[in-house]
Amino acid sequence: MPREQGDTAEIGVDIGGTFTDLVALNPATGGLVTGKVLNSSLGLAAGVSAACDEVGIHANEIRYFVHGTTLVTNLLIERTGGKIGLITSAGFGDVLEIGYSFRKGTFHFRHEKIQPLIPRHLRTEVGGRMSTKGQEQEPLSETDVEAAIQYLLDHQVEAIGVSLYNSYTNPLHERRVAEIIHRLDPHLFLSLSVDVDPRIGEYERVSTCALNTMAMPVFHRYTEELSKKFPSHEGIRYMHSGGGLLTLEEAKLRPIQLAKSGPAGGALAASVIAKHMGFQNAVTIDIGGTSTDICLMRDGEIQHREIVELEHGVPARIRSLDIHAIGAGGGSIISLDAGGAICVGPRSAGAVPGPACYGRGGAATVTDANLVLNIVPQSGLLGGNVPLDRQTSIAALDDIAQKLGTSAETLAEGVWAIVNANIAHAIRQITVQQGTDIREFALVAFGGAGPQQAVGVAAELGIKQVIIPNHCSVLSAIGLLTADLKVFAAQTVMLPLEAMAERAVQETYKKLHQQALERLGPSADAKIISERFAGLRYVGQWHYVPITLLASETPDQLYERFETQHEILFGTRIGIPVEIVDIGVTVIQPRERDLTAYLARSDWTVQEEAVENTRLVMHGGISAPVPVYARAALSSGAPLTGPCLVEEPQTVTYVPDGSVGCVTPEGYLSITVGEAVKA
């Protein structure tokens, strides 16, 4: 869509493992412009600049800038954050190393514990102790603190995390440590557990604090570079894992909240689309260049979780959309395991060198397989800006196929099926294996590779309906533009459920509301919505179930809702007393943007013939010509009969034989999955 120069724009930028997606909205006209570019080897900020150039946006035209990024996720998984140290209480220096006692697999007898986030020589201990009731049992040893800080400075750390035992009950000692650090070196990055996660659970709290500390130096440098290049007058907002936006200041203080920033915008947008199409239950899949992100919507609500594990046994206790990621994307590398079986992922070719078909010496990938099958056009990706060499793809797959005694084409078809099976298995883990029948759910697919695999994934799961939104390749960036400002604050209380109505608990809720409001930084006349939560568990349990509180709800009514939720999650109602572990408040400043209005097509140009050409596509071992439709030329209500392909500049939708679909009045592709697809 052409864009008038000089218009002010609102932009959403989503940086994944391979591509940078940008969506620009003219709020006066509702016009939407999209861009997608390969990530730059010069850095993430350079990729954002390239995406802006792609759509003709100048920095001085940006009025509102929203950003989702995998930066924090990647640097924590790869442990490429800053060199950091830890100050903790005497006797607790090994908590990070001890971690959890359980193995990743029950019968994995050769399991090796992962290396701690901070090496032992950079974990220091100081005297001082708070009780579980918040009373000072031993004064803080400031001599120890000064010695610990100087030791860490001598080891040239960039950041220090402070997590003292029982500090969630009384932050006095941690605050004092922070004062001393600022006095000795005001330039050090500093993360306090009482600011990041002031809740019970020693390992979860110190792990979250350490992860936050590790992310700080790199994230600060990135945001400073980005803010200089794009000085939006409203400031850059960052998508956090819980599906809301943070101010720059809040994101820099708590970058761990961005651990699931990248996929959150897409999950939000896909859930809105599913409800608009009449589905209260849906599975959303975002298949990009590096990974597939899966999210579940049940009864109109996206599922949340309280702990995110970026690596097995390394928890980040942040309120997050319940998004599960697996290494299955367009850039996932095809290989053979030790037994000679085909493996797809989790390693990815990334943007550089990229798939073999990019001609940069990359390995065979899923994109190469789909190019060999002719699902992906030889004319290339991103409107032809990334040309693809099918012969190189055939050669790369043939190297593997020869070891199996088969052809590149047969291997490619097997890869397509394996990717579908891998994604379906991951979906079953969070649905079927937890007692949820998803056969009546809708599957909303997006991301650059999502429409290529969606119908095959649905067939594996017995799902009958697939929805492919408009602008599906950049849907995560669109979701950013409609997200609300949102901040969550929580505190451990450890009280019987009957105490919920007591004045002290209500006063704590008010205090948390005020804390969240200050962190939100709303405008003076902003509309504010507040939601209250409680983490409940049966007395004697360790893990708790977060429950959203309803207005004027009695403890008895809350008990009944807790038991109902416990039964849904774990299949049991025990009927014994319940206690409150944590209470929390989410403060929201809604943007009140209608995503479906922006996504709905308004530029219908009905043509007599929407078929561009035909391509030979292999399915079931047979290569046959299938019609290729230009999505922009399809009119509302236009039927789609598989096998067929629907192309748009940034992706292609594959409708296999046996499936049928149509174009909805909004322009979405609604596909009914046929029984023959899986076979």
1 pLDDT band, cuts 50/70/90, is very low
DSSP calls for 354-366: -SGGGTSSPPPBH
Q: Are 622 and 599 in contact (CB under 8 A)?
A: no
Out of 103-107, 328-332, 335-339, 471-475, least confident range: 103-107
Q: Give residue-wise pLDDT tens across range 478-515.
A: 899 888 999 999 999 999 999 988 888 999 999 999 99
Q: How far apart are CA 56 and CA 50, in angstroms?
A: 10
Q: How far apart are CA 555 and CA 501, in angstroms?
A: 7
Coil/strand/helix, residue 589: strand
Q: Are 291 and 329 in contact (CB under 8 A)?
A: yes
Q: What confidence score (pLDDT) does residue 271 get?
A: 92
Residue 364 has pLDDT above 80, yes or no: yes
Q: Give residue-wise pLDDT tens across range 475-488.
A: 998 899 888 999 99
Residue 106 has pLDDT above 90, yes or no: no
Asked, as a colleague might, if the bond just before 255 is cis with ω within 30 of 0, I would say no
Q: Taking every pair of C-alpha atoms in the chain, what is the biggest distance, in angstroms?
A: 83
29 pLDDT band, cuts 50/70/90, is low
The residues that bridge with 622 in the sheet, in sequence order, are 619
Coil/strand/helix, residue 467: strand
Q: How far apart are CA 666 and CA 668, in angstroms?
A: 6
Q: Give residue-wise pLDDT tens across range 576-624.
A: 999 999 999 999 998 877 777 767 665 545 444 566 688 888 777 788 8
Q: Give residue-wise pLDDT tens across range 633-677.
A: 888 888 999 899 999 888 999 999 999 999 998 889 999 998 755
User: How many helices and strands, by DSSP H and E, does the chain display?
Assistant: 17, 35
- Count how many residues are written for the chain: 679
Q: Residue 484 carries which DSSP code?
A: P
Q: How far apart are CA 86 and CA 355, in angstroms?
A: 41
Q: Which of 25-29, 296-300, 434-438, 608-612 has the highest mean pLDDT?
A: 296-300
Q: Are 177 and 145 in contact (CB under 8 A)?
A: yes
- Pick 222 or 42 by higher pLDDT: 222
Q: Give residue-wise pLDDT tens across range 122-136.
A: 999 999 999 999 999
Residue 78 has pLDDT above 70, yes or no: yes
Q: What confidence score (pLDDT) does residue 679 get?
A: 45
Q: What confidence score (pLDDT) does residue 233 get?
A: 59
Tell me what the mean pLDDT of segment 449-478 comes to: 93
Amino acid identity for residue 318 in this structure: I
The sheet carrying 611-619 orders its strands as: 611-619, 622-630, 644-648, 651-655
- Whole-model pTM: value is 0.87
522 pLDDT band, cuts 50/70/90, is low
Alpha carbon of 625 to those of 258, 374, 491, 613, 615: distances in Å? 45, 10, 62, 10, 5
